[in-house]
Structure 1
Amino acid sequence: MNDEDLTAKARIRNTALELFAQHGEDRIALRTIAAEAGATLGLVQHHFKTKAGLRDAVDQLVADHFASTLAQAPANATVAVRDEAVRQMLRDNPPVVNYVRRALLDPSAERLHLLDVLVELTQQEVSKLRTSGRASVERRESAQVVTVLVRQMGELLLQPMVDAIWERVATPGGEPKPRLRVSVDDA
């Protein structure tokens, strides 16, 4: 969708996602978001009231990306297929990746909203998979939620470090880059 096709509220929210992802929420003023979105500060405040309200809207947009991706997966999709769909959505949406990185790597009290939303979404998905017989009911549901989030988010959060290390140790013209895999042991 073209930015011109979006409502002013959606343009403001999308601009906030881009700027928060690039610079961090603390370093961006509402006035800057308004200017970048082609809106007035008053319009930003009208739609979102405060920066916290705008952050919550951005969190919801990010959660909607995840929910939409999972909803588009075939009903009988395996966990691996669902995980790959999430990874592809993240590859297609760099601002979402950078925003999630910032939000999850600095989980202060006011930034835990996104984590709470993602945990709730994952709990719903795990529950559906367990009910349909596509996920084990032998394992603790809480451990499955942690496993899914770490599997999906772990690569997202750690890949920049892996890439930086690889650039320093790779031989010229050489080997393929190692693939990062993250797992959780359910002790």
Structure 2
Amino acid sequence: MTDPRARGNDLTAKARIRNAALDLYAEYGEDRVSMRTVADEAGVTVGLVQHHFKTKDGLRAAVEQLVVDYFLLAIETASPTGTPAQIAANRDEAVRDMLETHPAVVNYIRRTVLDPQSQGRLLERLVDLTRTEISKLRNNRIASTRRPESTQVIGLLVRQLGQLFLQPMIDEMWDYLAAGDTLHSDKPVLSVTVT
């Protein structure tokens, strides 16, 4: 899968700023990262950050779009052949692989979507992307049209993001249980299946 962040020294200043913001927001949270910190991390001036993104809201929107681009690229790399169930599994696997490969995306999503104070629109953007993809699948007779599209959108997002949100809680429960149980030292990964 091609990385939407691009690679190498040929990145534009705008892309370097956006990438730095994703990394910093994922690690510390947007509210704890100033535009100056982003500029320093990207190796540019604050004025250049303001030139490209105007405000912190503009920078957040660019970071959110980058996260959506990760999902879109993952979906586009999935094999489009097979039964509808195989195509869905291929897409889920591509998204899962992308999330495993890009921890900053995972951490950013966790911070943004689970924070009730978040000013972002990431969840709305992911819902819109999912709705668009479900609509394409329905139009191509790959996804069922017997169920409401909204049910399919929510089911798909729960399936793809459920582990992302629940894994830290599951890990904590395993750690608690394992403290008194020396027989189970390996923590299994949560498996979420929604039909």
Normalising by the residue count of structure 2, what TM-score does the alignment of the two structures yield? 0.87
CA distance in 2, matches of 1:163, 1:97: 16
Alignment of 1:38-57 (within 5 A): 38-57=43-62
The answer to whether structure 1 residue 84 and structure 2 residue 93 are counterparts is yes
CA distance in 1, matches of 2:16, 2:58: 15
Alignment of 1:136-151 (within 5 A): 136-151=144-159
The answer to whether structure 1 residue 117 and structure 2 residue 125 are counterparts is yes
Partner-residue secondary structure (3-state), 1:110? coil
The answer to whether structure 1 residue 177 and structure 2 residue 187 are counterparts is yes
1:132 deviates by 2.2
Q: Is contact 2:36–2:46 with CA below 8 Å preserved after alignment?
A: yes
Cα deviation digits, residues 53-108 of structure 1 (max 9, x gap): 00000000000000111111122252111111101100000000000011110144
For structure 2, the residue ranges without an aligned partner over 5 or more in a row are 1-5
Partner-residue secondary structure (3-state), 2:147? coil
- Higher fraction of helix: 1
CA distance in 1, matches of 2:90, 2:132: 17
CA distance in 2, matches of 1:81, 1:108: 34
Aligned to 2:41: 36
Aligned to 2:3: none
Root mean square deviation, CA, Å: 1.8
Partner-residue secondary structure (3-state), 1:78? helix
Q: Is contact 2:75–2:95 with CA below 8 Å preserved after alignment?
A: yes
Q: Is contact 2:112–2:118 with CA below 8 Å preserved after alignment?
A: no
Structure 1 letter corresponding to 2:27: Q
Structure 2 letter corresponding to 1:11: R
CA distance in 1, matches of 2:51, 2:162: 37
CA distance in 2, matches of 1:44, 1:85: 33
CA distance in 2, matches of 1:176, 1:138: 42
Pick one of 70, 91, 106 that aligns with 2:115. Answer: 106
Cα deviation digits, residues 118-137 of structure 1 (max 9, x gap): 01110011112222222221
CA distance in 2, matches of 1:146, 1:173: 38
Normalising by the residue count of structure 1, what TM-score does the alignment of the two structures yield? 0.91
CA distance in 2, matches of 1:28, 1:60: 19
Structure 2 letter corresponding to 1:140: P
The answer to whether structure 1 residue 163 and structure 2 residue 168 are counterparts is no
Structure 2 letter corresponding to 1:84: E
Change (3 A) 1:125 1:2: closer
Kindly tell me the number of residue pairs found equivalent between the two proteins.
Answer: 184
Percent identical among aligned pairs is: 55
For structure 1, the residue ranges without an aligned partner over 5 or more in a row are none
Alignment of 1:54-73 (within 5 A): 54-73=59-78
Aligned to 1:97: 106
Structure 2 letter corresponding to 1:101: R
* Comparing 16-25 and 69-78, the one that deviates more: 69-78
CA distance in 2, matches of 1:109, 1:61: 17
